[in-house]
Chains A and B, each alone.
Chain A
C-alpha cells in the first residue's frame, strides 16, 4: 500500500515539478509502450540503445523486462511494443537527435525530475 502511495507521489512530483523526461517518439504503439513501460523507467533507457536497436536487441530487452522485472504485458502487447521500438528506435533511425518528438525541444534544457519520493522507507 505504501509503495503505491509513494509511487503516486513520485508521479505527481514528476508531472508537476519537472517536465524533464524525454517523451516517447510518435508512432504506432506509442500509447501501449507508455502504458506498459513508463511506470518503471524513463524513455532515455530506450534512446540509449537506439544506435544498436535491432529487432533482436528489442526482443531480448522486452523479454528481459517481462521475465526478470515482471513488466505486466501480454504476448500481443509485447509484439506491438517490439514493433514500435524497432520502427522508432532501430538502427535505421540515424536521425535520432533530430527526430521530431514532443519533447525534443526541451530535452537539452531539462532539469532533474522529482527523484526522491520522501517519507517512509519500505518496512524492512
Chain B
C-alpha cells in the first residue's frame, strides 16, 4: 500500500465531510474538556490539540482487547508530519557498527524473520490531566494508549546483520517527522543495549494485520514492549549505534522523573543522572471500560468489566471495591494475549442497597506492584496509575 500526497488530501477531504456530518449528528458527544473531531483514517477521537495533532481514544474502544487501528490514539511532538511512500522508504543503520546498512521495507520483510508481539503502547503522560495539583503538559485523560498486535522484524536481528560493535552503549532512533523551526531539537530517542537487543523489541510495519496507519508511524515504527510510547519512534528512518549516551533535549531533559519516587524494575543506567531517571516501564494499571454513555455504571444492568496491564511482568489480579477500599473483591481475568497486552477482566455485581456508590478498580502484577490510591505527584506528570473510580447507581 502506498500513501501519496493525493491520497492524503483525499483523506483530508473525506475527513472534512465526515466531521461536518458528525458535527450535525453528534453534538451531544462533545465533552467539556475536549472536542470530538475527525482525522484522516480515524474515527472521531477526543482532540487535545490540532497542531501538532494529539488525539486520545475514547474509553469505549478499550472494550476490545486489541484497540482498532482507526481508533488508536495519535501523538506528535512536532508539526511537520511526513507522508512517506513505501517503495521509496529507506532505513539507515549506522554509527558504531561494522557494516552500515540501508534497507528497504522489502529488504526487512525478506531478509529477517518476521515476528509478532501484542503490546500496549502508552504515552508516558497518559492521565496527566487527572493529576491534582495540575501539571503542565498535554492534559490527557485515560486514552493516550492502545493495544495492538505488532508485526515486524527484531531490532536485534537487524543490528546483528550490521555488526553492532561491542563498544556500543545505546541505540538512537530518528524519524522523518520534524519541527517547523530548524532550531527546535529533533525528536530522537535512545534505548540501552539490553532493551534494544531484547527479542520482543521490533521494527514493526504492521499493526493488527494491516500496514501501520499514517498517523501511527507508517511505514515503520519502533515497538518497545513494556516501555512507554516515548521510545516507540514513528516514521523511523535512522538507527544509530552510540558509544556514549544520547544527550539531546528529549533524552537529557524531557521524559524524566525523580529517581526515588518510582520502584522501577527496568532501568536505563547510562541515562540516569543525579536525581532524575528516564521514564522507562509502564506502571501497573487498570481501567473500567463498560460505563454507560454518561460515564457511570448501573448496578446489575451495566456490565462490570475492564482491562489491566503493566510492563510485561504479568497481571496477577484485578480487584474492585464498593466501599472506598475497605474491602476488595477479586475479578475474573479473561483472555491472555501475552504479558505486554491488555488483560481483560470482569466481575459480578454484589448485592447493594439502592443509592449512589463509587466502584474502584485496582490491578497488581506478578512482581507485587499494585496500583495506588493517589498518584505520585512528579514534575512532568508521568506514571499516573491511581485506582480507576467510577460512579455507580443502584436502582430498585
Contact = CB atoms under 8 A, between A and B. Distances in A.
Contact of A108 (B27, B84, B138): B27
A41 B179 CA distance: 10
B49 A44 contact: yes
B50 A44 contact: yes
A71 B27 CA distance: 36
B80 interface: yes
A120 B80 CA distance: 11
A122 to B, nearest CB: 5
- Main secondary structure, interface of A, reads loop
Interface stretch (B31-39, B152-160, B261-269, B347-355): B31-39
B248 to A, nearest CB: 10
B134 A124 contact: no
B82 to A, nearest CB: 4
A40 B37 contact: no
B139 interface: yes
B12 A3 contact: no
A48 B49 contact: yes
A68 B185 contact: yes
A40 B179 contact: yes
A40 B79 contact: yes
A18 B12 contact: yes
A116 B213 CA distance: 13
A49 B180 CA distance: 22
Contacts of B83: 116-119
B67 to A, nearest CB: 20
Nearest to A120: B82
A52 B131 CA distance: 12
A107 interface: yes
Contacts of B235: 121
Interface residues of B, number: 57
B103 to A, nearest CB: 12
Contacts of B214: 116
A44 B51 CA distance: 9
Contact of A109 (B8, B23, B92): B23
A93 to B, nearest CB: 15
B39 A112 contact: yes
Interface stretch (A6-14, A26-34, A80-88): A6-14
Contacts of A124: 90, 92, 174, 237-238
Interface residues of A, number: 47
B5 A10 contact: no
A38 to B, nearest CB: 9
Contacts of A68: 185, 249, 253-254
Contacts of B183: 70, 72
A45 B49 contact: yes
Contacts of B59: none
Interface stretch (B13-21, B287-295, B336-344, B360-368): B13-21
A72 B181 contact: yes
Contacts of B8: 116, 118
Given A21-B50, A121-B237, A108 B23 contact: yes
A16 to B, nearest CB: 10
A10 B38 CA distance: 18
Interface in A98-114: 107-114
B16 A112 contact: yes
Contacts of A69: 179, 181, 184-185
A118 B4 contact: yes
Contacts of A41: 49, 51-52, 79
A35 interface: no
Given A18-B12, A112-B16, A118-B5, A42 B48 contact: no
B338 to A, nearest CB: 32
A78 interface: no
29 contacts: A3-B178, A7-B180, A10-B79, A17-B13, A21-B50, A40-B179, A40-B184, A41-B51, A42-B49, A42-B50, A42-B51, A51-B134, A52-B134, A57-B136, A60-B136, A69-B181, A72-B181, A107-B35, A109-B23, A112-B12, A112-B37, A112-B50, A115-B12, A116-B8, A116-B83, A117-B81, A118-B83, A121-B235, A124-B90
Q: Which 3 A-B pairs have the closest CB atoms?
A: A121-B176, A118-B5, A70-B183
Given A6-B80, A115-B53, 9 more contacts: A20-B50, A21-B50, A39-B180, A39-B181, A40-B79, A51-B134, A110-B37, A122-B82, A124-B92
